[in-house]
A and B are shown apart, each in its own frame.
Chain A
Amino acid sequence: MRKAATPLARRVAHALLRAGGVAAGVVVIAFLLGRLIPGDAATALLGSRATPEAVAELRGRLGLDEPLPVQLWEFLTRLVTEGDTGASLVNDVPTRELILARVEPTLWLVAFAAVFAVVLAVPLALWAATHRDGVADHVVRILTTAGIAMPAFWTGLLLILLFSVRLGWFPVGGVRDGYPVSVVLPALTAAFAIVPILVRSLRVQLVEVLRADFVATLRAAGLPERRILARHVLRNAALPALVLVGTNISYLLGGALIVEKVFALPGLGDLMFDAVGSRDLPVIQGVVIYSALAVVLVTLVTDHLAALLDPRLRRAA
């Protein structure tokens, strides 16, 4: 019997509903999380100058002295009507504007990191899979294990010392030299963090495909090995790889916070870092909500892109 008339549409609707639930949860958590950390924007802004009167006055001006339910209500209405979480308590710029201004370095960083990750991971995985349990496989395994063990700030520092300080090819940090030159080293650093995971998963996929009956058939038919790899094996492994990269983009977004700090990129991670430091609640909430939405969206899109591209996935639904 045929399934429902529009399985894809229904699946998308389901997924959207689920995503909506996740988003609502994020909104509530984002509101409450900021209030769990000790200290508030008034003490953060005044620092060593915090006389009791100054703190009380600033709290009043920032609206921090209102009861929590009132603050929550104002927060939700603003979010729904303006799509914003309010103006920064530090510099009075609306959070949405701050996010839009700071999103550029992060987008460059994540996009390039994804590209670098794929460019590095695919050949390595292919090399390892075609030489399974051979020297190449072990070399790749050791390399990826070492890669996982290298923290981003350390890799970043090494890249800076070699390519920026010694060779002078790339800026040390910041985006004053423009794009994409400013994000090459940061993107490499971020890519290094996910390449090991990608290589390992891809290798497993490739090994499975290599063992498949159709590969044996192709070999029996006398097709050259290179052609089998390029036209058949890689294609069959490409979709799972796409899903993997999609899932890891959320990981990249999280990693961007550290990488942006290491390279002094004025991106979303840096904005978030500063906002937490100064207890700038509207900005913390805005960044959390918008990046959570972005991650949900990317996951949705990769899931459905894979379904669109691979008829088997569509049918399986």
Chain B
Amino acid sequence: MDRHAPRRPMAAALLALVVLAAGAACGSPAGEQDAAADSGDGSLVFARTSRGVTDLDPTADELATNNAYTLDKIFEPLVELREDGSIEPFLAESYEVADDGLSWTFTLRDGVAFTDGSALDAEDVVFTLNRHLDVGGALPLSAPITDVTAADDRTVVVALSEPYAPLLADLATFANVILPTDLGGLTEEEFFQDPVGTGPFTVDSWDRTTGEITLAANDTYWQGAPSVDEVVFTVVDDDNQLLQQLQAGQVDVIDAVPAANVAELEANPDVQVNVSDSWQQGLLAFNTVDGAFADVRLRRAVASALDREAIAAATTYDTATPATTFLPPSIQFSAQDTDVLGYDPAAARDELARSDHPDGLSTTLIVESSSASQTQQAQAIQAALAEIGVTVEIETLDATTFWARFGERDYDLAVTWAISDTGDPSNLVRWQLLPDVADSYHTGYGNAEVIDLAAQGVAATDDATRADVYARIQRIAADEVPTVPLTYIPTITATGSGVEGLVVLPNGTTRLQDVTGS
């Protein structure tokens, strides 16, 4: 063997690699043109954070945000949530409630069809609601429904065992979108791979390995075909990438603008920032069962020690409003005039002096590491409580550890967030104040009067009674402070140049059928 021979292939390989690399560099202008072409042919690229789309079943055990915000483009509910939080007829063109409140009659819109061509009829609604009652899922149908029947092709009657005021709000959620009878004869798995709905979009392609999904416009949509040809939902789980891709025109819409970057984006003439009211709040939760904060005086001391206006301004860059009651103003019957414990260091010291820990105490606070504003809120709370002699050690946890510990009530203080599923106050009351649903949002709080009032709140049918009931609940919560609501958080979306017509709803989702100019 020639002594030098082996070295030549290596040199050749090296050379080949260099040529390849050079080719890569030359390839860039072509790539740029592709990108430019992409955003001109009616394809809307929508980048979201967190996970990709894993499941399109509206009654799945886990209704991850991106799943919910995708399936509501494919399926539609009987009644629709509007931008201003109101509920309007949708697939049902009208509804009527009996005087006793025990029966609701929905009349379906004529001329609505699923994307497989079959017409929407009452049987589809009966099937969908019964399926939801059977399956339960992440947003179970908690209305006291006894029977769902089809009176004729276009009329559905929902019978209740007792009056239930939030029925329309419940029917407008992601979980009550209408599916075709018997899923068109397919198995659950087959159907939700390539679902058939009445919505403005259908599934075009779905890469299960990355969760990237492309929806195609439904040209036969009953409200008219959407303006864009397709919507690509991609995942960009990095704030910097999200912002730079939007500004470079690689993506058209982002739906989770970090508060710290709002000003930067607003200064960019090519980008539009949209700040809209949502049902989301930031809060400080107490473990009201084990440990020091079982003492209501101590909780009141903490609430009085916090300057929510300063916290909201500093940690959300003035994007969020300081919170008062646990019902954000976008929720019906939110009583913003509730007498909540305001910032009053003297009152805080007074409450502390009368608590089981008059000389102060040391405690811990858990918070998720991924949210800059939450970790900053934790620090602001730590500083404020130090003023009244409460020493707080902050434990910054990754999301899963946080939710595991919060869910098992393995904490003293927790800075976190919550979002309502509906605009009706009953939803947040259920989640945050009823011990048998989610352990009063893992605070362990329980109050017999609140439980009783919550039942009255859903059964009462006139608004005056309901307003009064929910005002009383908000007063009790403000006095006993199972949580300190800190901020009402808006949904901040941003769109690239020329994108118009994006509608953002208070539950955080978007309507895309009228979006133009991508």
Q: Which residues of A contact B209 (CB under 8 A)?
A: 93, 97-98, 101-102
Contact call B54/A90, Cβ cutoff below 8 A: yes
> Taking CB as reference atom, which chain B residue is nearest A157?
B240
The yes or no answer to A266 lying at the interface (CB within 8 A) is yes
The verdict on A168 contacting B248 (CB below 8 Å), with A176-B234, A184-B24 known, is yes
Measured between C-beta atoms, what is the minimum distance from A191 to chain B in Å? 10
Contact call A93/B31, Cβ cutoff below 8 A: no
Bound CA span A116–B21, Å = 8
Within A45-64, the residues touching B (CB, 8 Å) are 45-52, 54-55, 57-58, 61
Contact with B along A212-224 (1 / 0, CB 8 A): 0000000000000
Bound CA span A176–B210, Å = 12
Within B56-98, the residues touching A (CB, 8 Å) are 61-64
> Taking CB as reference atom, which chain B residue is nearest A99?
B209
The yes or no answer to B468 lying at the interface (CB within 8 A) is no
The yes or no answer to A8 lying at the interface (CB within 8 A) is no
Contact call A58/B61, Cβ cutoff below 8 A: yes
Contact call A38/B405, Cβ cutoff below 8 A: yes
Contact with B along A12-56 (1 / 0, CB 8 A): 000000000000000000000000011110011111111110110
Contact with A along B416-446 (1 / 0, CB 8 A): 1111000000000000000001110000000
Interface 9-mer from A65-73, A193-201, A273-281: A273-281
Bound CA span A168–B32, Å = 7
Q: Which residues of B contact A39 (CB under 8 A)?
A: 400-401, 403-405
Q: Which residues of B contact A97 (CB under 8 A)?
A: 209
Measured between C-beta atoms, what is the minimum distance from A64 to chain B in Å? 12
> Taking CB as reference atom, which chain B residue is nearest A52?
B439
Contact call B35/A177, Cβ cutoff below 8 A: yes
Within B1-15, the residues touching A (CB, 8 Å) are 3, 6-7, 10, 14
The yes or no answer to B399 lying at the interface (CB within 8 A) is yes
Contact call A174/B248, Cβ cutoff below 8 A: no
Contact call B407/A55, Cβ cutoff below 8 A: yes
Give the number of chain B interface residues (Cβ < 8 Å): 63
Within A171-203, the residues touching B (CB, 8 Å) are 171-174, 176-178, 180-184
Contact call B27/A119, Cβ cutoff below 8 A: no
A-B interface pairs (CB < 8 A), number: 176
Q: Which of A58, A92, A181, A242 has the largest count of B CB atoms less than 10 A from its CB?
A: A181
Contact call B403/A43, Cβ cutoff below 8 A: yes
Within A246-282, the residues touching B (CB, 8 Å) are 261-264, 266, 274, 277-279
Contact call A118/B210, Cβ cutoff below 8 A: no
Measured between C-beta atoms, what is the minimum distance from A38 to chain B in Å? 5
Measured between C-beta atoms, what is the minimum distance from A259 to chain B in Å? 12
Contact call A263/B241, Cβ cutoff below 8 A: yes
Measured between C-beta atoms, what is the minimum distance from B410 to chain A in Å? 9
Contact call A171/B31, Cβ cutoff below 8 A: yes
Contact call B248/A277, Cβ cutoff below 8 A: no
Contact call B138/A49, Cβ cutoff below 8 A: yes
Contact call B404/A102, Cβ cutoff below 8 A: no
Measured between C-beta atoms, what is the minimum distance from B69 to chain A in Å? 15
Contact call A57/B61, Cβ cutoff below 8 A: yes
Q: Which residues of B contact A170 (CB under 8 A)?
A: 28, 31-32
Bound CA span A278–B400, Å = 7
Within A81-119, the residues touching B (CB, 8 Å) are 90-93, 97-98, 101-102, 112, 115-116, 118-119
Measured between C-beta atoms, what is the minimum distance from B34 to chain A in Å? 6
Measured between C-beta atoms, what is the minimum distance from B440 to chain A in Å? 11
Give chain B's interface residues, CB within 8 Å of chain A. Answer: 3, 6-7, 10, 14, 17-18, 20-21, 23-25, 27-32, 34-35, 38, 45, 51-52, 54-55, 61-64, 138, 207-212, 234, 236-238, 240-241, 244-245, 247-248, 250, 398-401, 403-405, 407, 416-419, 437-439
Closest 4 CB pairs of A and B: A39-B404, A101-B209, A181-B31, A180-B24
27 examples of A-B residue contacts, CB within 8 angstroms: A37-B401, A38-B401, A38-B404, A43-B400, A44-B400, A45-B61, A46-B407, A51-B438, A57-B61, A90-B51, A91-B54, A91-B55, A98-B209, A115-B18, A118-B14, A119-B17, A168-B32, A168-B248, A170-B31, A173-B236, A173-B244, A177-B35, A180-B23, A180-B24, A181-B24, A261-B237, A262-B241
Q: Given A91-B55, A242-B10, list of 13 further CB < 8 A pairs?
A: A40-B400, A44-B400, A44-B403, A50-B438, A90-B51, A101-B207, A118-B17, A168-B32, A168-B248, A180-B27, A264-B238, A277-B399, A278-B400
Give chain A's interface residues, CB within 8 Å of chain B. Answer: 37-40, 43-52, 54-55, 57-58, 61, 90-93, 97-98, 101-102, 112, 115-116, 118-119, 157, 160-161, 164-165, 168-174, 176-178, 180-184, 235, 238, 242, 261-264, 266, 274, 277-279, 308-309, 311
